[in-house]
Amino acid sequence: MGPPMSCEVHLWKYELKQFPTKFSFPKVLSQDELARSQRFISREDGKRFAWVHAFQRDVLSRYLHLPSNEIQFAMGRNKKPILKTRAAKPAIHFNLSYRNKYALLAISSKTSVGVDIEEVGSLPDFAAFLSDYFSTEEQQKILEKETKEEQLSLLFTLWTMKEALVKSLTIGVKGSFATYNLCPFLQQSSGVLSLGKQRAWNISPVSIAESYKAAFAVAANQVHFKMFEYGKD
C-alpha cells in the first residue's frame, strides 16, 4: 500500500525563553515522565524535559479533546512513542524533538511523521561524521561550501532531514543514514520525490531560529503544512 495522496501536517514550535508557570506537573505528567525528569544530572535539563512533555500533552489534548493527564502513550516500533488512548478520533500521528531553547511537535493526519531540530555547532570529528552518515553526493555538496560555517549549516540541514526521515520510517538509528541521499530534496521546491519503495515523500527543512536547523518528513504525495507558535495561538 502506497502513501496517502494528501496529508495535513501541523508543526508546533515552542520557544523556552523562560519556563512557564501554567503547568502543575503532578496533574499533567505521568508518573514515568515525572520520574524521568528527576533523573537528569542537570536540574535545568530536568525542568526542560518536564516543560517540553507538558507542552506536548497540552497540544495533543486539543486534537484528542481529552484532558492532558488522560492521554496515554505506548512505545511503538524502535521505541517511538505512539498514542495508547483509544479515543483518538480521528487517529493522529505525532513526533517530538527538542534542543536547548526550542521544541517542535509534528502532528500528521494520516501517516507516520518525523521531526528533528538541532542547534548548529562545531563537531569534534567533522571528517568522520561526514563519511559515516552522508552519501557521496551529500559530502561533495557540503565540502563545496567555502567556509566552515557554510559547511556546518548545510550539514545540519541535511542531518535534520535524515533524522526526520528515519523517525518517520521508525527504523531507528541502526539504519544506515549514508544510504539516504537527500540532496534532490534540497533542489526540489515542492519537496516531493520518490524514495525507495515509497512512491512519494515530503522531506522539508523548516525555518526556526538563527543557529538552529529543523525538518519534517512524511510519506505523502501532497502535504498541507501549517506552522503554529505555542503560546501565541
Q: Is the pLDDT of residue 163 over 70?
A: yes
Give the model confidence (pLDDT) of 171-180 as tens digits: 655 557 888 8
pLDDT at 6 over 60: yes
> Which pLDDT score is estimated for 175?
55
pLDDT tens-digit series, residues 115-159? 999 999 999 899 999 999 999 999 999 999 999 999 999 999 999
b/e for 44-70, b at 16 or more Cβ within 10 A?
eebebbbbbbbbbbbbbbebbebebee
* Residue spans per domain, the chain: 6-229
Residue for cell digits 486539543? 62
What pLDDT is attached to residue 2?
A: 57
104 neighbors 95 (Cβ within 8 angstroms)? no
Q: If pLDDT is split at 50, 70 and 90, which confidence band does 168 have?
A: confident
Residue whose entry in the numeric block shows the C-alpha cell 515523500: 201
Kindly tell me if the per-residue pLDDT of 26 is higher than 80: no
**How many other CB atoms are found less than 10 A from the CB of residue 220?**
26
Is pLDDT above 90 for 94?
A: yes
- The residue length of the chain stands at 233
Distance in angstroms (rounded) separating the CA atoms of residues 89 and 231: 25
pLDDT of residue 25: 76
- Confidence class of residue 110 from pLDDT cuts 50, 70 and 90? confident
Q: Are 216 and 106 in contact (CB under 8 A)?
A: yes
200 vs 32: which has the higher pLDDT: 32
Q: How large is the average pLDDT for residues 4-14?
A: 87
In this predicted structure, the answer to whether residue 72 has a pLDDT above a threshold of 80 is yes
The predicted-structure confidence for 178-225, as pLDDT tens digits, reads as follows 888 898 888 765 556 666 655 678 888 999 999 999 999 998 888 888
Say if CB 219 and CB 168 are below 8 A apart.
yes
Architecture of the domain spanning 6-229: Alpha-Beta Complex (3.90)
Residue 89 has pLDDT above 80, yes or no: no
pLDDT of residue 40 exceeding 80: yes
Q: In whole angstroms, what separates CA 80 from the centre of its chain?
A: 11
Pairing of strands 212-218, 198-206: antiparallel
Measured from the Cβ of residue 187, the count of other Cβ atoms closer than 10 Å reads 8
pLDDT computed for residue 217 by the predictor: 92
